[in-house]
Structure 1
Amino acid sequence: MIEQTTKDASTFVSQVDGAFVFIFGISILFLVGITAFMVYYILKYRKSKNAEATHIEGSNTLEIIWTVIPTILVLSMFYYGWSGWKSQTEIPDDAIPIKTIARMWSFTFQYENGLITDTLYVPKDQAVKLDLVALDVLHSLYIPAFRVKQDMVPGKKTDIWFESEKEGEYEIFCAEYCGLRHSYMTSTVKVIPLIDFEKMTQIDSTALVNNNTVVDARQAGISVTRKYGCNACHTADGSKLVGPSYKNILGRSRVVIQDDEEIEVIADEDYIRRSIYEPNIEVVKGYEKGLMLSYKDQVTEEEFMQLMDYFKYLSGQ
């Protein structure tokens, strides 16, 4: 269940909210004060009471007052903002690193033991550093409850950190428009006790480990699709998303667009390999070109074979 209250969700909450309340309070104070001042003098010096304009000399005292006071207030607001920004850039040395990967249109999280999840798990009362990697276009990781947000630029190393003080589940959003399914690019951060987090990250529980007798080939294939965010664009039940469904994919003919010409191909192992490594060479008719990037340097041969086993299962083979 997603938490509705964010008090103590992270150590940044009180600081960020305090700065917001301070700046908002000053803005309201000036809005009310200036409006009341303006209305008062409009009524006091209206034409019916002052038929002839009165010449008023300038006042050095007033000039100093309305220069010095706003300057002090602006510097105060700057200090609140700067101190909050500075604390969010000073990452503790003992922060737990978690690699965060963004691609159209999903987030995945990789821990030090190799575990990869599509939900972010973090321990309570422990600093966590997210190493942010964007594989395709500009994304932005935003956790409103923690008051943290950071753009993810392809080819540029960025990171953020936080420390949560309250167990629970909180929403993650992509806050930068990144394509057709940008609004679906969401995830969840789960804050759990430190002992549970240590148990989870001390063992390698991925489905991609050699000699893992607990996990069968189908589950391994599912893990591959989750690892690379395939499920953001493809389905396993035959329904249409950004790309074709995995269901009944193997052994069937399909019409593709190649060099602006329609040709018919059989979806065999070679076709699947081309679709993953060179996705824009043959685009299935009815789908857009250029929406999928090449995974040639990412999907290993072992992972590809696990995908094939999964696709065989979905194709009834």
Structure 2
Amino acid sequence: MDNQLISTTQAVDPVFIFIFGACLVMLLGITAAMILFVVRYRRSRSPEPTSDRDGSLWLEIVWTLLPTLLVLAMFYYGWSGYLTLRTVPKGALQTKAVARMWAWSFQYENGKTSDKLYVPVGKPVQVNLESKDVIHGFFVPAFRIKRDVVPGMKNHVWFVASRPGSYDIYCSQYCGTGHSAMIGKVEAVPEAQFTAWLNEAKEEKEGDEGMAHEVFEKFGCLGCHSTDGSQKVGPTFKGLYGSKVNVTRGGKKETVTADDGYLTESIKTPAAAIVEGFPPIMPAPEGITDAQVKAVVEFIKGLK
């Protein structure tokens, strides 16, 4: 790795250790001095003052100068670490993280999308942040990176995964009822494996199922809807087709059958009929095609 390349972990951890260490030394020193003075100069031992001095120039200089130098040192290390976090190394892999309630989706320069952020080990990665609805927060504790994702504002983070593994992505800003479930993954893999994954072509045999999964990844559908019957922010897809659903349409409650027409309407215009017991927050998927809608409907049909 380039000698000038420093990982975000290396930028943050030394600053934390330095500040924590300085605070710990001060805590122990002040506590020890306090105990010594309480024991040595207690009233029972020295009932009357033995000195009439009311100040010390050198003492005041010391306790003013030392904290000033300590704070300046903290500022220096913190500022240098901040510059490292905001200066992206040359040649970094460019990706985009798209946040929406309540899921992450990731896009690469060749047009590939994924619901996980795949990255090569040992290479810098720049993640450009975009929100489709409210303020989110891109937070990966393993790499010490956290940045707000604000609608209409350009922002980014970068990091280097030093070893293969799976690392959690959290949303650090409360973004609604599904906030706690908005968890993504960074999958760090060897460079050769990443290149093969990035450039692999989709197989024709995937058909409707493959297209449905592509839609789920692009629009973050599985952040709110499950395919196994488990409870999430939105209705589960499993067993949905053909079932009776209580909805509110135009302010009036009604019961409908989840057939092709209902599912198509729900995908294209989710606010048209709100399912009872679930919040009316699903955004319309911009740019979705009729073929993609049909593929999703066919996929839901198979989830009995």
Give me the TM-score of the superposition, normalised by structure 1: 0.86
Of 250-259 and 28-37, deviating more is 250-259
Q: Deviations over 1:98-131 (max 9, x none)?
A: 1111122221211122221122111122211101
Of 80-89 and 263-272, deviating more is 263-272
- Please tell me whether the aligned partners of residues 137 and 148 of structure 2 are also in contact (alpha carbons under 8 angstroms): yes
Classify the secondary structure of the residue corresponding to 1:289.
coil
| Counterpart mapping for 1:232-311 below 5 A | 232-285=223-276, 287-295=277-285, 297-311=286-300
Q: Deviations over 1:253-308 (max 9, x none)?
A: 432112432123343444333323332332122x233332222x242333212212
Selected match of 1:18 from 14, 23, 31 = 14
Classify the secondary structure of the residue corresponding to 1:101.
strand
| Counterpart mapping for 1:114-125 below 5 A | 114-125=111-122
Counterparts in 2 of 1:60 and 1:33: CA distance versus 1, 3 Å: same
Name the counterpart of 1:208: none
Which blocks of at least 5 consecutive residues in structure 2 are unaligned?
A: 1-5
- Residue 224 in structure 1 maps to residue 215 in structure 2: yes
Of 150-159 and 217-226, deviating more is 217-226
Number of aligned residue pairs: give it. 298
Name the counterpart of 1:41: 37
Name the counterpart of 1:130: 127
Counterparts in 2 of 1:282 and 1:55: CA distance versus 1, 3 Å: farther
Q: Deviations over 1:15-62 (max 9, x none)?
A: 321111111111011101111111212222221123234543211111
Counterparts in 2 of 1:252 and 1:16: CA distance versus 1, 3 Å: closer
How far is the alpha carbon of 1:74 from its aligned partner? Answer: 0.6
Structure 2: distance between partners of 1:281 and 1:70: 62
Give me the TM-score of the superposition, normalised by structure 2: 0.89
Structure 1: distance between partners of 2:166 and 2:122: 15
Q: Deviations over 1:216-271 (max 9, x none)?
A: 21232133223322122222344443222223434554321124321233434443
Counterparts in 2 of 1:251 and 1:177: CA distance versus 1, 3 Å: same
Structure 2: distance between partners of 1:237 and 1:192: 28
- Residue 94 in structure 1 maps to residue 91 in structure 2: yes
Structure 1: distance between partners of 2:182 and 2:86: 25
- Please tell me whether the aligned partners of residues 114 and 204 of structure 1 are also in contact (alpha carbons under 8 angstroms): no
> Superposition RMSD on alpha carbons, in Å?
2.1
How far is the alpha carbon of 1:66 from its aligned partner? Answer: 0.7
Selected match of 1:180 from 162, 177, 180 = 177
Which blocks of at least 5 consecutive residues in structure 1 are unaligned?
A: 1-9, 206-211
- Residue 312 in structure 1 maps to residue 301 in structure 2: yes
